[in-house]
């Protein structure tokens, strides 16, 4: 039992929840909770697996958030640009 | 890996400038929360873009008016960084409460209760909703 507790990604999951992508963040918090509870029961393997799952959800939340924001602003820039190019009124 | 970090840095600086100069309340080209756009229900993260603008303008009351959880998130981040760096730099062994078995459950409950309360359209709950 001298193994270190696996990283639980709780902070990252909270930030993902509050700043962009709620469902991924909630899943991350649930797995973070499993990391802590399984480790405190001495289930190191289970805690490690939960840590990997938490990381996966947190990453998906982060990646999807960044992609959506970048695509969104690209879309807006293209729309405004093409309207300006065509001399449209916007 | 270095290219990815550089890209993220550029993106971060760009977004900081964008949210500093443009108030998302005044223009309508910022992404809307998909949940709010489709159902009209506020999620626990609604108001974060407006809160980011207020924070960058150092208007802390404005941040609270948009999203109280915003400060909660920043507080948790600050606590985590403080404990980790104290342990690393000063070789201390401070217990990080984020690794307590009950902490994630308490945080989950706070987020869900906040979610429900900010959708009640009556005083005093409606001050939790973004405006």
The 10s digit of each residue's pLDDT in B42-80 is 888 888 888 989 999 998 888 888 888 888 888 999 999
- Residue reference for tokens 């982060």: A62
- The model's confidence at residue B19, banded by pLDDT at 50, 70 and 90, is confident
Residue A64 CB contacts under 8 Å (≥ 6 apart), including other chains = A21, A24
Q: Cα separation of B66 and B1, whole Å?
A: 36
Residues 80-99 of B with CB under 8 A from A: 80, 98-99
A36 in contact with B, Cβ within 8 Å: yes
- Taking CB atoms and an 8 Å limit, are B108 and A29 in contact across chains? yes
The question of ipTM being above 0.90 is answered as no
A23, pLDDT greater than 80: no
Closest of B38, B40, B41, B22 to residue B30, by C-alpha: B22
Residue B110 at interface with chain A, using a CB cutoff of 8 Å = no
For A31-85, what is each residue's pLDDT tens digit? 888 888 888 888 888 888 889 888 888 888 888 888 887 888 888 888 888 877 7
What was the pLDDT predicted at A26?
Answer: 85
> Which residue in A53, A44, A66, A63 sits closest to A26, CA to CA?
A53
Confidence of residue A21 (pLDDT cuts 50, 70, 90): low
CB A83 within 8 Å of CB A90: yes
Q: CA of B33 to nearest chain A CA: how many angstroms apart? A: 8
Q: B10 in contact with A at a CB cutoff of 8 Å?
A: no
Q: Does residue B44 sit at the A interface (CB-CB below 8 Å)? A: yes
pLDDT (mean) for A17-40: 83
Contacts (Cβ under 8 Å, ≥6 apart) of A15:
A25, B73, B77
Interface of A with B in 39-78 (CB under 8 A): 39-40, 66, 68-70, 72, 76
**B129 to chain A, closest Cα gap in Å:** 14
pLDDT score, position B113: 92
Structure token pair of residue A20: 């962009």
């Amino acid at each position: 039992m001298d193994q270190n507790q696996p990283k639980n990604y709780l902070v990252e999951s909270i930030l993902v929840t509050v700043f962009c992508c709620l469902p991924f963040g909630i899943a991350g918090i649930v797995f973070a909770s499993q990391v802590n509870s399984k480790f405190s029961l001495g289930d190191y393997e289970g805690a490690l697996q939960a840590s990997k799952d938490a990381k996966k959800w947190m990453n998906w939340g982060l990646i999807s958030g960044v992609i959506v924001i970048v695509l969104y602003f690209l879309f807006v820039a293209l729309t405004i640009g093409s309207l300006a190019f065509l001399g449209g009124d916007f | 890996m270095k290219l990815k970090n550089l890209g993220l840095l550029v993106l971060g600086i760009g977004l900081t400038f964008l949210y500093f100069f443009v108030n998302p309340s005044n223009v309508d080209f910022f992404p809307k929360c998909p949940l709010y756009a489709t159902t009209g229900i506020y999620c626990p993260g609604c108001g974060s873009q407006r809160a980011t603008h207020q924070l960058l303008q150092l208007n802390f009351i404005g941040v609270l008016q948009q999203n109280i959880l915003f400060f909660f998130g920043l507080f948790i981040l600050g606590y985590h960084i403080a404990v980790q760096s104290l342990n690393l730099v000063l070789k201390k062994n401070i217990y990080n409460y984020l690794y307590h078995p009950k902490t994630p459950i308490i945080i989950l409950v706070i987020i869900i209760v906040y979610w429900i309360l900010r959708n009640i359209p009556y005083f005093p709950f409606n001050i939790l909703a973004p405006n």
